[in-house]
Structure 1
Amino acid sequence: MIDFGHILLFVAIVSPLAVLFRTARRGGDPGWRRVALLVLFVTGIAWFFRPNYAGFVGGAAWFLLLFLPAIVFRKAAELARIGRFGGARRALGLLRPLHPAAGLREHVAFIDAMETQWRTRGVLQPFSLPRRNSIFGDPAAAIMPGVMTFVTLNVAMFIAEIALGGSTNSRTLHRLGALEPYPVLAFGQYWRLITAPFLHYGSLHLFLNIFALYYFGRTLESAIGTLRFMIVYIVAGIGSCAEVALLWRFGWLHADQLVGASGAVMGVVGAWAGLLLRDRREALASQRLQHIASIVVIQTVFDIITPQVSMAAHLGGFTTGLLAGFALAPPRRTREPAALGI
């Protein structure tokens, strides 16, 4: 079973390092560097004295000092954008104990400038912020039919798991179609290549995959269309399972039972890489390819240090999605709106 504390520890280390790398490379508010270092320090102290609880301590520090301020800063800007300046200032006031004063002063000054413009001109357009729902761009809508279809299917299958014996019951997962290489190759149960990506081992496993699907999937679906997106997702899921089965067949991998949508989600990321490689001269293509490379590296490192996670499934899904992105990419003009996102 996936250890929640292990995941939190990974986040509490990787996320601050990413903040340090980004601020060192692009500059910006030095307050973020200080809080990132503080999160790493707290996590390190917890690991030294209580390693079994280091993930929870570091995760709490990450949530309070990095994640929560980022969300509140964005919310304050959105409140100011619609003229609710008092609410924006109250939101920033909640962060005084959690974030360095310099960062808060910068955001307060931004809101003051917006309010001044609102009072003098009655408009806010020059200060309105682009939505950044994904590192790949801004989806055309908050809810995309393809993404919601797969979210619904994953949740429905999870409910079926619970009703039939439990989501961590290996016999239940076997009956519902978990990937088991021996039955697939020896008895031709190839349908397991399709069903396994819709099953999950526990609620945490389901939540993480649905979150990733929602985060990455909406932008891809907006760019290539619902039908192409659904094909990419299904093909990537099958490809990830097929790679696991083949590696097992040649004795390079030991996996008795495998479930989860993460291979298909990595296929979504791979499809984006395929689209961007086809249109390397597109605005921000190089930057987004770097983001994709960082996702693959972080995911691979996590797979290596987490025995319960299948690196083969993730890389197989990514590779299949990459090829699908090349094959199914629509004409460039139909992807132009999504390419404008930042």
Structure 2
Amino acid sequence: MSEAPSTAPVCYRHPSRETMLRCSRCDRPICTSCMNDAAVGHQCPDCVKEGRRSQRPARTAFGGSRAGQLGYATTGIIAINSLVMIASAVLGGPRAIAGAGGFFGLLGEGTPLTDFGEVLGWATYGGQVHGIAEGEWYRLFTAMFLHYGVVHLLLNMMLVAQLGRYLETQLGPMRFLALYLLAGLGGNVTAYVFQPANQPSAGASTATFGLIAAVFVVNRRLLRDPGPMVPLLVTNLIFTFTIPHISIAGHLGGLVSGAAAAAALAYPKLPHRTLKQVIGLSALLIVLVAAAVFRTQSILG
């Protein structure tokens, strides 16, 4: 005599598994492998996905998304600087890496790549006139990715790794990149404005000084104690003013620009927070461009 067929419900995703559990949202039968704990009962995988799609993504106090926790922007900045250093060493040879002087003899010498992209107001070399005033405006951007040797690179990338991850988590990747680039640009513009026209400079330190200032601003906005950042700032300022061949103007310009960009990101509130942030950053960019144009006119005039 054959047994009567089972009438127990089966999991809608696994028809071979009998179950008495049901999704509290759609009421379909689910097995223990498919159930997900919910505020009330359990939910099936499809309802969990649907709930995530309809749920508003979590944002930080500055509008940053959860993507900032992954640190992609910080990692990308370090990777680009490292690749540019490798290219510079290939073009410049061993002395481009270290041993050419500066910072106790540990820095490298200039290379064709640094000659091409460093901050330079106006000068003649290679039988030609070069410089920002001569139309090479890209130098204000490229200089923040160039370094005179591996030690120079490592010192800056250590700060990017330490401060960048924190700021990217708070601001999100796009806002953090805007902060980093504006700080670097601000430092380079300041170097262009206040250094002799034929004095070159390069390095991510314009941007890293901006990151130091940004941590102060962000922590202040979050009502956190910025005190632990003071020794780092003081140490870097001591290096800036005591070690020869360091761009004082570039470092201070990056510090001020980073603080201004961070304030533009940290203090706007809802509604229209993103729009207010864009306006603040755009205003800073306009000021920097105006300063560079004024300096160009003074050199050529």
| Deviation of 1:153 (Å) | 0.4
For residues 255 and 294 of structure 1, what CA distance do their matches in structure 2 show?
34
Q: TM-score, normalised by structure 2?
A: 0.56
Q: Is 2:221 the counterpart of 1:275?
A: no
| Deviation of 1:143 (Å) | 5.1
For residues 142 and 220 of structure 1, what CA distance do their matches in structure 2 show?
10
Amino acid at match of 1:301: I
Amino acid at match of 2:161: Y
For residues 133 and 74 of structure 2, what CA distance do their matches in structure 1 show?
34
Match of 2:170 among 219, 223, 239: 223
**What does 1:153-232 align with in structure 2 at a 5 Å threshold?**
153-166=80-93, 167=96, 168-182=108-122, 183-232=130-179
**What does 1:61-72 align with in structure 2 at a 5 Å threshold?**
none
For residues 318 and 200 of structure 1, what CA distance do their matches in structure 2 show?
19
| Deviation of 1:140 (Å) | 9.2
SS at 2:216's partner residue?
Answer: helix
User: Is the CA contact 2:114–2:146 (under 8 Å) kept in the aligned structure 1?
Assistant: no
What is the aligned length?
A: 186
SS at 1:201's partner residue?
Answer: coil
Structure whose alpha-carbon radius of gyration is higher: 2
Q: Is 2:230 the counterpart of 1:303?
A: no
Q: Is 2:210 the counterpart of 1:262?
A: no
Match of 2:188 among 219, 241, 249: 241
User: Is the CA contact 1:273–1:325 (under 8 Å) kept in the aligned structure 2?
Assistant: no
User: Is the CA contact 2:148–2:203 (under 8 Å) kept in the aligned structure 1?
Assistant: yes
Q: Is 2:78 the counterpart of 1:151?
A: yes
For residues 329 and 142 of structure 1, what CA distance do their matches in structure 2 show?
18
Amino acid at match of 1:219: Y
Q: TM-score, normalised by structure 1?
A: 0.49
Taking a change above 3 Å as real, the CA distance of residues 255 and 211 of structure 1, as seen in their structure-2 partners, is farther
SS at 2:92's partner residue?
Answer: coil
For residues 257 and 68 of structure 2, what CA distance do their matches in structure 1 show?
26
| Deviation of 1:189 (Å) | 1.2
For residues 207 and 170 of structure 2, what CA distance do their matches in structure 1 show?
18
Taking a change above 3 Å as real, the CA distance of residues 198 and 185 of structure 1, as seen in their structure-2 partners, is closer
| Deviation of 1:177 (Å) | 0.6
For residues 114 and 198 of structure 2, what CA distance do their matches in structure 1 show?
13
Taking a change above 3 Å as real, the CA distance of residues 207 and 255 of structure 1, as seen in their structure-2 partners, is farther
User: Is the CA contact 1:224–1:330 (under 8 Å) kept in the aligned structure 2?
Assistant: no
For residues 235 and 198 of structure 2, what CA distance do their matches in structure 1 show?
22
Match of 1:322 among 259, 266, 280: 259
For residues 179 and 200 of structure 1, what CA distance do their matches in structure 2 show?
12
User: Is the CA contact 1:274–1:322 (under 8 Å) kept in the aligned structure 2?
Assistant: yes
The structure 1 segments of at least 4 consecutive aligned residues displaced by more than 4 Å after TM superposition are: 139-143, 330-334
* Percent identity of paired positions between Structure 1 and Structure 2: 30
Q: Deviations over 1:53-72 (max 9, x none)?
A: xxxxxxxxxxxxxxxxxxxx
* Larger displacement relative to structure 2 (203-212 or 221-230): 203-212
Taking a change above 3 Å as real, the CA distance of residues 181 and 254 of structure 1, as seen in their structure-2 partners, is closer
User: Is the CA contact 2:184–2:206 (under 8 Å) kept in the aligned structure 1?
Assistant: yes
Amino acid at match of 1:145: Y
State the partner residue of 2:12. none
SS at 1:170's partner residue?
Answer: coil
Taking a change above 3 Å as real, the CA distance of residues 216 and 145 of structure 1, as seen in their structure-2 partners, is same
For residues 330 and 140 of structure 1, what CA distance do their matches in structure 2 show?
21
For residues 320 and 259 of structure 1, what CA distance do their matches in structure 2 show?
17
| Deviation of 1:147 (Å) | 0.3
